[in-house]
Amino acid sequence: MKIALIPDEYTHDPATAFEIGLRWGIEHYEIRYAYRWRVPNAPGWVNDCVVNAVQTHGVTITAISPGLFKPAMRTDGSLIPISAETPDEIRRHLDELLPRDFEFAARLGTRNITVFSLPRSNGDRGERIPPLVIETLAEAAQKAADNGFTLFLENGGGLWADTGRATAALVEAVGSPALKVTWDPANVVYAGLAEDPVADGYRAVERHIGNLHVKDACRTHEEGHWTQMGEGMVGWPRQLAELARSGYDGFLTLEPHLQYEPGVTRVISEVEEFLARVRELLASQGEMESLSR
C-alpha cells in the first residue's frame, strides 16, 4: 500500500503543497481544492495553476475529487442544492460538470474521479435507494466507461452511500466496472451511523474498493469530531489488518481534517505528525505480518 495526500488539507497553494509533500517523501496526490475553489469548478487561472504545479514538481495525481453530486458552490459562496427533488441540477452535473471533470483529470494525468451519491432528503435514513440515485450513478458510470475513466464513490454522512453496507448496495445496483468505492471509515464514525466501520462497513465494500481515505474521528455528546491519527474511534490497526487480509494494494489517501487555528504553521506540523503516525502503523503492520509467517 502506498501513501497519497490531499494537499489542500494543509495549504490551498498547490505549488507549496507539493514542495512540502515532497520533503515528506510523498509523490502521489488526490486533488480537491485550490485557492479555496473546488476544482475544476473554478476560474480558469485556478485550474491552470494546479496543472502547472503538477508539471513543475513532477508529482503523480491519483484522482480528483470535484464534488460531483454534492451541492455545488456559487461564486458568492452559497450552495446550489442537488437531490432527487432537483432533477435539473442533476442533469447539469451529468451533462456539464462531469465532462469538465474528465477534461481536467486528463490534464492532470489521472483517469480516476471521486464522486458522491446525492444527499438524502429531509433526514431520510431509509435503506431503500431511490431509483433516480441508481439511474444517475449508472449514467455517470457509463459516461466514464465510454471515456476511459473510473468513478470512485465516496461514502459520507447525509448521502445515500453513507455506511459501507449502503455504499456496497448502491455500487452493486449500478453494476458497472467503471464505478468503484473510495472507502472512508472515519465518515461513518463522524456521522454517528449504526455500523462498525471495520467489522461491518469494510467487509461490505472490500470487493469494490479502488481508493481509501485515511482520517480519524470520534463522537462526543452526539457530535462528530475529527482527531489526530490514533486518537479517534475508527480502529486503524484493525482497518489496516483487514486491508492486508484482503490484498488491497491501492493508495492510502491521507485526509487528516486537522484545520487548527491560528495560522498555517500548526496545520502543517499536525499533518506531518499524522503522516508519521500512519507510517508507524504501517511499519507495525509489516512487523506483525512478518511474525505471522
What are the b/e assignments for 248-263, b being 16+ CB within 10 Å? Answer: bebbbbbbbbbeeeee
Contact 53, 15 (CB under 8 A): yes
Q: What was the pLDDT predicted at 29? A: 98
Q: What was the pLDDT predicted at 53? A: 98
Backbone angles phi, psi at 147, to 5 degrees: -105, 5
Q: What was the pLDDT predicted at 23? A: 98
Helix, strand, coil shares of the chain, percent, nearest 5, are 45, 20, 35
Tell me the C-alpha distance between 270 and 85, whole Å. Answer: 40
Domain spanning 2-292, CATH architecture: Alpha-Beta Barrel (3.20)
Backbone region of residue 98 per phi and psi (left: phi > 0; alpha: psi in -120 to 50; beta: other values): alpha
Q: What is the mean pLDDT of each run of 10 residues along the chain (293 residues)?
A: 95 97 98 96 97 98 97 76 86 97 98 96 77 96 98 96 97 98 98 95 97 96 93 97 95 89 70 97 73 35
Tell me the C-alpha distance between 217 and 235, whole Å. Answer: 10
Q: Which of 259, 212, 276, 220 is nearest to 4 (CA)?
A: 212
Written in H, E and C, the secondary structure of 3-57 is EEECHHHCCCCHHHHHHHHHHCCCCEEEECEECCEECCCCCHHHHHHHHHHHHHH
pTM: 0.93
What residues pair up with 45 in beta bridges, in sequence order? none
Tell me the C-alpha distance between 121 and 145, whole Å. Answer: 29
- The position carrying cell 468505492 is 181
Q: What was the pLDDT predicted at 292? A: 37
What residues pair up with 135 in beta bridges, in sequence order? none
Tell me the C-alpha distance between 15 and 5, whole Å. Answer: 14
Contact 285, 240 (CB under 8 A): yes
